[in-house]
Structure 1
Amino acid sequence: MATNTQAGTGPVWDWAAGHGPVTGALSATTGCLAVATTGAATGMPPGWALTVGAAGAIGHTVSSLRERLSARTVAMRAASWLVGAGWTTWAMTTGPLSWAALGSLATIGVGMGAAARSTLLYEEVRELEAIAAAERQVAAELSAERRAIAAEWVDRVQRVCGITVRVLAVESWPTGTGFTIDAELPPGGATYDRIAGYSAQLSADARLPHGCTATASQGIDQGRVLIDVTTVNVLVEERTYPTDYGPLSIHTGIPWGYRTNAQEICVHLREQCALVVGPTGSGKTNMVHVILAGFARTTDVLTWVIDLNAGSAGLPWVRPALDANGAFVEGMRPGIDWLASTYEEALTMLETALAVGHHRKVAYQDLMAERNTDQLPISAKIPQIMLVIDEGAEILISSDKRMRKLAEKILEVIRMLRAMGIRTVLTALGATGAVLGNLMIRREAKARVCLTGGEVEGMDLGKIFPGSRGLKVTQAPYQGAGFMGTPESPAALFKNWRILPNQIRDIVTATTDLHPTLDTISARAAGPAYARRWDATRTAWMRDHLNHAADTAQSPQSHAAGGGLNLSALRGSNDTDADALAAEFMQQIDAKFGTAPEPDATPPAPPAPEPPAPAEGLNLSALREPKSHNAGPAWLPEAVDAIESAGATGMKPSAVADLVGRSRQAVRDALKAAAERGEVVYRDNGPHSVYIHPDHA
């Protein structure tokens, strides 16, 4: 039969707990009574009880001193042992069961309890006071350090900026990389801008390490200023992208890097566009991958990528999810939703985005009225579309007719589809007036990034961050480092994480289940152009590398026969088809005119055909003489490739010199000779003269 083990109501005894004032006194008195009764009945010598009490008093005194208890507690414990031992000795002599013995024992017990309670309270107060004293000492030491910092920086600001401020607080950063000074500006109309303009001078006066700055920003009101002082250079080290691939949202911000205080900086792109500027070698491509990684983790964003440079920015995010036949790997989706690498595909993508945006304006009127908002409520069911356009700023300033058509579509997306949740992220090679001259870019791209990588040419920070003072390119000489400003965070130093191809594959795998799908209304407006974006015919260029090895194994004759131009310049002298055609032609001539060679005559060898003049017909590489390896220095091909990658913007001789590690005079001479040979084109524009590849001239 089962037993009910449920405990009943009433007091619960904790036998493992120590004695308190009441239980301690009760235990001592009952112990004395038991010893006295037993001793009187057995004839125990009374002196034994007194000896035991004295030993107990000595033992408790020693243990109390080790615990560093107060003298009051030590005296109370020793007295309790001696009084109890004295009563036990007296009771064994006179009888422990008399009313006098029992009454005196009860009085002793009450006295012990009261004394124990009093000393316990005293020890608690004493302990609290010791803790408070220690905290006061730490606070005093910290306050002394802060007062020293405050006094030092009051003097420095006065000496460098000519302003006398009053420091209200000094807060050390949890990361241990610097501190923030909260100061009050003097009366008379002084603003924080006056201190912000002296950032470089303050940093030098404070002897801060390279990569560390002292920057001023707005305080809690217009009469206060915050001075962020970085003491540890976190930009010099390379940090990989965080391995936490948890879900994000367009509403809560997407991390793009970290500040000099080692804290993440997030961008909010629900209503604004973004612009990323970075020359060759500054880490711009890596920055694009960091941006795509953030979008891949969001549960309410679909990413469309336009990269006319063979789609290189988006391919790493697509290939892990596609097999050799163009089908999706089971259980995987690409890290981006659409990739365009050609003009035609890019134009289709932009027209689709416009169609989706315009249709959303009409189809979601009831939903916006229900939510009482004039902006489309973006969620996982109605995702935002982010158009990432690599070197999109260069498309906007291109003089090419086709590029101008793309530019019109891009500007229309930026201008008209903010409320409908379609925004853009453009990249550019330089922060120049030509790139940033478009008012639409400056007005809508409020999240701006300028990666410098130590490059000075074409890095006008005043154009990309107007109104910001004290920013110098030399403060961020590291690859992946630069400046970043958003409406929520003023322009300041930052660095993005390093992200490698194997990590991209991991992110694509980990975020497959996070990607939303285009809502039904938008998908209907997008039509077949969107629905068939991953068809094998439209993604065949992504898998050309699989057939490359087989193609290179074929002979030149098989390439000529398989397709393309059948050029005689590429055929050998033993062309059987040409010989047969010539023989048939001669037979027709003989039949018509009766001509024939003399019996003993030896036909002369036909003269070698001369190549056509370079100015006539097609300028075919097969007909050109091979270039001499001595036509230029060994580093010239690398320089020409870099100039070609720079596109229509071109490269200055100084930038080429920094790239190849040669003197500027040597680079100028080599490029001048290359221009005479037609390998590059020189565009004379005074101090802004550049060399351009012929394909972009």
Structure 2
Amino acid sequence: MSTDTNAASTGPVWDWAAGHGPVTGALSATTGAFALATTATATGMPPTWALAIGTAGAIGHSAAGLRERLAARTLALRAASWLAGAGWTTWAITTGPLTWAALGSLATLGVGIGAATHSSRLHEEAREEEALAVAARQVALELSADRRAIAAEWVDRVQRVCGITLRVLGVEMWPTGTGFTIDAELPPGGTTYDRIAKEAAKLSSDARLPHGCTATAGPGIHQGRVLIDVTNVNVLEQEVFYPSDYSRLSIHTGIPWGLRTNADEIRAFLREQCALVAGPTGSGKTNMVHTILAGFARAEDVLTWVIDLNAGSAGLPWARPAFDAQGRPVDGVRPGIDWLAASHKEAMVMLDALVRVAKRRKVAYQDLMAQANTDLLPISPSIPQIMLVVDEGAEILASTDREIRKLGDRILEVIRIARAMGARTVLTALGATGSVLGNLMIRREAKVRVALTGGEKEGMDLGKQFPGSRGLKPEQAPYKGAGFMGTPESETALFKSWRILPNQIRDIVTATSDRHPTLDGPSAKAAGDAYAQRWNPDRTQWMRDTTATPPTAITPATTGGQPSAGGGLNLSALRDKQAPASGPDEDAVRAFMEQIDKRFGTTDEPGTTRPERPATPGLNLSALQPGDGDARQAALALLLAAGPGGTGASAIARALADEHGTTRQTVVGWLKSWAEEGEAVRIGEGTKTRYVHRRHAPDQG
């Protein structure tokens, strides 16, 4: 209020740096001439001095106008104004400036100068606009020439490689500068775009595109049009870190999972769809899981439940920042995930709770769905979607172990009954094989699919994971974190997953703590105490215990990493070696273990030798041998995931080298042992030798 009053009281503000317009210019010229004439008359100045001054001004302004490249008429007007003003001043000094004739002629001169200046200014503006238009037309002509050249080149290339004559309607250059899109019309006669799509590799080779760049064809605006995306800059080899923008997301607007080759984000829409992420060891699959969890943490209407039977490693970085060393909550920080299961028992508790939640929602929200006139539960921050992320969940579904199969059956039940009620799954797998994709439920519901190849060919059947897509080869994405992604909203194509580091995970957990929703009342009631006490310090003790082995799927009779009082074998290979024997009589325990060794043929401790003995039927506990148990189990999982095609020792050793340091010689020994035990079948001889898991062997159907 005071500012406006002060401005009004001080009057208008003069801009002394501003140039003259037609009116102020003419007024300045006439008043200056009149002042000079009256002063010169009073002082007796010679009249010729005014004429000399005007001539100098005309010459100076003409020179300045030439430097500014003004039009000739503008230069003539400025020179004429100076000379006219100098002539009037000379005449007025001679005859007197205070006569009516002098004043009238001066006013006429001012009006003429103003009118001429206005006309000149309009002419200069039109001239400048025309110059800009000419420059723009020149740029457009140059761009059009480049695009015409691109269009002609690709019309010839498609004709040569695919035998199809296109009519190019437009060429759009990508703003990122990494490629372009050709919009073309297909020839008449029923030609479809997939005739070009299946020759993507040949087109890329013919165009001499760099590695990691492709020429892919997709549907156009109608079935008679085709869009050809051509990437000419390899963005897959670059390590791109997760964006530092942690703004709010929603399950309805999609969750970003990475970048296309044109540097555009690709989003997964998971309100009604499940997802499958396949990738061998070393392909960047674990990092992709963290990227997925980061997107869910940013969403205001998503709660994430994680199952990872490998010591909970996928979810630990997202849970630990919210608790102190004693397991108590840290003020102002909530876990980035809502529940973490690292054991078979906890996973079953979680899945049972999720099934109860889905069934309860079907009844509790009937009125809400009727009001919204929909058969899908309206997901919002008050009724959040539950995203179940299961690391290596596809292997759980394909497992032959009875206890693991129970987990798999419960996961399939969630997939089957919970779509409308806002519970979907993200499963990961070590490969895209028949055993992983053999389940109809997975193929039907997991419409968002990712294959992180890293250049690995073993176990990556892209044709099965992306049916209908042509020309996909692992060699196109030989970099960690790179592969193919397809969704119902976008065609299957190359993409790059973001790189996310542990310190950024902590930042995301802290930055998004205030937006995590809470489970709605009916769902929380259905989930029961198992959900309410999920972060109880007793149940999360294993997260902070650095001396005891975390709970695993092999020991369903344990809780929180500690032996339960229930029944079942208590095998020393699964306990911390420094833990005391679980009984008062260690001699009796030792005798019992010796009986197990004699009956089931268990392996010796490292550094001990014993005479060879004939193989005996029964349990084979060699997978529990300390030191290589995890690697051996991983190798067996790879053999199972290879499907009927089988695999060899070299491929398994390469897959295990980074994480376990396993050599080919060790894998050869395992394969021979499994073949003798009937766990695997050997096919071929010499360099063509391969092994097939007994589930996929020909005699096993």
Give me the TM-score of the superposition, normalised by structure 2: 0.85
Match of 1:274 in 2: 275
Aligned equivalent of 1:436 = 437
> Which residue in the other structure is 1:398 paired with?
399
Q: Equivalents in 1 of 2:388, 2:517: separation in Å?
A: 16
How much has 1:624 moved relative to structure 2? 8.2
State the aligned residue count.
638
Q: CA deviation at 1:652?
A: 3.0
SS state at 2:528 partner: helix
The answer as to whether partners of 1:643 and 1:692 remain within 8 angstroms in 2 is no
Corresponding residue for residue 637 of structure 2? 648
Give the whole-Å Cα distance in 1 for the aligned partners of 2:515 and 2:35.
Answer: 76
- 1:101 alignment partner, SS class: helix
Shift of 1:171: 0.9
2:137 matched to which residue of 1?
136
Greater mean deviation of Cα atoms: 480-489 or 403-412: 403-412
For 2:81 and 2:393, how far apart are their aligned partners in 1? 89
AA aligned to 2:359 is: H
Amino acid of the structure 1 residue aligned with 2:203: L
Query: Structure 1 residues 211, 558: closer, same or farther in 2, change over 3 A?
Result: closer
CA deviation after TM superposition for structure 1 residue 475, in Å: 0.5
- 1:271 aligned counterpart, secondary structure: coil
> C-alpha displacement at 1:6, in angstroms?
5.3
- TM superposition shift of 1:537: 2.1
Contact 1:560 1:566 in 2 (8 A): no
* Conserved? CA contact 2:683–2:691, under 8 Å: no
- TM-superposed CA distance for 1:284, in Å, is 1.1
Contact persistence 1:275–1:426 (CA under 8 A):
yes
Give yes or no for contact 2:318–2:509 (8 Å, CA) kept in 1. yes
> Residues 171 and 183 of structure 2 are in contact (CA less than 8 Å); yes or no, is this contact kept in structure 1?
yes
Relative to structure 1, the CA distance from residue 6 to residue 21 in structure 2 (aligned partners, 3 Å threshold; closer, same or farther) is: closer
Residue 492 in structure 1 maps to residue 489 in structure 2: no
Tell me how far 1:686 sits from its aligned partner: 3.8
SS of 2:425's equivalent? strand
For the residue of structure 2 that corresponds to 1:453, the secondary structure is coil
Q: Per the alignment, do residues 357 and 334 of structure 1 end up closer, same or farther by CA in structure 2, a change over 3 Å counting?
A: same
CA distance in 1, matches of 2:305, 2:320: 15
Per-residue CA deviation, residues 297-324 of structure 1 (Å, 9 max, x unaligned), is 1111000011112211111211222222
Aligned to 1:202: 203
Higher mean Cα deviation, 11-20 or 337-346?
11-20
Residues 641/366 of structure 1: CA separation in 2 closer, same or farther (3 Å cut): closer
SS in 1 for 2:168: strand
Q: 1:158 to 1:319 in 2, by over 3 A?
A: same
Amino acid at match of 1:205: D
C-alpha separation in 2, matches of 1:638 and 1:64: 88
Superposed counterparts of 1:361-510, under 5 Å: 361-510=362-511
Please state whether the residue corresponding to 2:335 is helix, strand or coil. Answer: coil
Quick one: distance in 1 between partners of 2:386 and 2:141? 55
CA RMSD after TM alignment: 3.2
Post-superposition offset of 1:363: 0.8
Write the letter of the residue equivalent to 1:36: A
Distance 1:565 1:399, change over 3 A: farther
Deviation of the 1:642 alpha carbon: 3.8
Q: Is the 8 A contact 2:547 2:576 kept in 1?
A: no
Shift of 1:242: 1.4
Shift in alpha-carbon separation, 1:218–1:560, aligned structure 2, 3 A: closer
Matched, 1:683 2:680: yes
1:568 Cα offset (Å) = 4.8
Structure 1 residue aligned with 2:240: 239
1:94-153 C-alpha deviation (Å, 9 max, x unpaired)? 111222222221221121111111111110110001000110111111111111111100
Contact in 2 for aligned 1:639/1:660 (Cα 8 Å): no
1:625 equivalent in alignment to 2:614: no
In structure 1, the residue corresponding to 2:491 is in which secondary structure? Answer: coil
- 1:81-120 matches, cutoff 5 A: 81-120=82-121
Task: Give the C-alpha shift of residue 618 in structure 1.
Answer: 7.3
The residue that corresponds to 1:312 in the other structure is 313
> How do 1:553-564 and structure 2 match up within 5 A?
559=578, 563=582
| CA distance in structure 1 between the partners assigned to 2:28 and 2:351 by the alignment | 89
For residue 164 of structure 1, give the secondary structure of its aligned residue in structure 2. Answer: coil
* Amino acid corresponding to residue 644 of structure 1 in structure 2: Q
1:60-113 Cα distance to aligned partner (Å, 9 max, x none): 011111111011111110111011101111111111122222222122112111
Identity %: 67
Residues 468-517 of structure 1 deviation map (CA, whole Å, 9 limit, x = unaligned): 11111110111111100001111000110111222222221222112111
1:48 deviates by 0.8
CA contact (8 A) 1:321 1:333 kept: yes
> Distance between the aligned counterparts of 2:376 and 2:191, measured in 1?
40
Corresponding position of 1:41: 42
- Kindly state the Cα deviation for residue 426 of structure 1 after the two structures are TM-superposed: 0.7
Distance 1:253 1:623 in 2: 52
Kindly provide the amino acid, as one letter, of the partner of residue 34 in structure 1: A
Distance apart, 1:648 and its partner CA? 3.5
1:218-233 pair list within 5 angstroms: 218-233=219-234
Query: What displacement does 1:535 show?
Result: 1.4
Q: For the structure 1 residues 212 and 288, does the alpha-carbon distance in structure 2 shift closer, same or farther, using more than 3 Å as the test?
A: same
Q: CA deviation at 1:330?
A: 2.1
- Contact 1:431–1:458, Cα closer than 8 Å, also in 2: yes
Write the deviation string for residues 343-396 of structure 1: whole angstroms up to 9, x where unpaired.
111111111111111111111111112222211111111110000011111111
**TM superposition shift of 1:563:** 3.6
Q: Is the 8 A contact 1:203 1:213 kept in 2?
A: yes
Change (3 A) 1:51 1:626: farther
1:78 maps to 79
Who is 2:355 aligned against? 354
SS of residue paired to 1:491: strand
Alignment-mate amino acid for residue 433 of structure 1: G
In 2, the alpha carbon distance for the partners of 1:423 and 1:97 equals 96
For residue 643 of structure 1, report the CA deviation from its aligned partner: 4.1
**Aligned residues of 1:324 and 1:546 also touching (Cα < 8 A):** no
For each residue in 1:194-246, what CA deviation from the matched residue of structure 2 results, as whole angstroms up to 9, or x when unmatched? 00011000000000000100000011111111100000101111122112222
Which residue of structure 2 lines up, in the alignment, with residue 540 of structure 1?
541
Q: Tell me which amino acid in the other structure corresponds to 1:683.
A: A
Check if 1:145 corresponds to 2:136.
no
Change (3 A) 1:673 1:279: closer
Q: 2:527 — aligned with what?
A: 526
Supply the AA of the counterpart residue of 1:529.
A
**Alpha-carbon distance in 1 for matches of 2:580, 2:227:** 73
Q: Quickly say closer, same or farther: Cα 1:139–1:622, change in 2 above 3 A.
A: closer
- What residue identity is the alignment partner of 1:163? I
| Distance in structure 1 (CA, Å) of the matches to 2:458 and 2:672 | 25
Unaligned segments of structure 1, at least 5 residues: 572-577, 579-610, 629-635
Q: Mean Cα displacement is larger for which, 217-226 or 326-335?
A: 326-335
Deviation at 1:565, TM superposition (A): 8.7
Q: Which residue of 1 aligns with 2:156?
A: 155
- 8 Å contact from structure 2 (residues 253, 269) kept in 1: yes
Q: Distance in 2 between matches of 1:661 and 1:347?
A: 32
- Render the CA deviation track for 1:559-580: whole Å, top value 9, x for unaligned: 5756469655999xxxxxx9xx
Deviation of 1:692 after TM superposition, in Å, equals 7.7
Contact 1:683 1:689 in 2 (8 A): no
Aligned partners of 2:87, 2:233: CA distance in 1, in Å?
70
Q: How does 1:20-31 map to 2 (within 5 A)?
A: 20-31=21-32
Specify every segment of 5 or more residues in structure 2 that has no aligned partner in the other structure, as ranges: 550-561, 563-574, 612-624, 640-646, 695-701
Asked if the contact 1:211–1:476 (Cα under 8 Å) also holds between the matched residues in 2, the reply is yes
One-letter code aligned to 2:680: R
Contact 1:429/1:646 (<8 A) preserved: no
Name the amino acid aligned to 1:378.
I
Q: Distance in 2 between matches of 1:297 and 1:612?
A: 55
Code of the aligned partner of 2:528: G
Which of the two has higher C-alpha Rg? 1
Distance 1:510 1:676, change over 3 A: same
Matches of 1:362 and 1:95, distance apart in 2: 106
Moved more, 499-508 or 459-468: 499-508
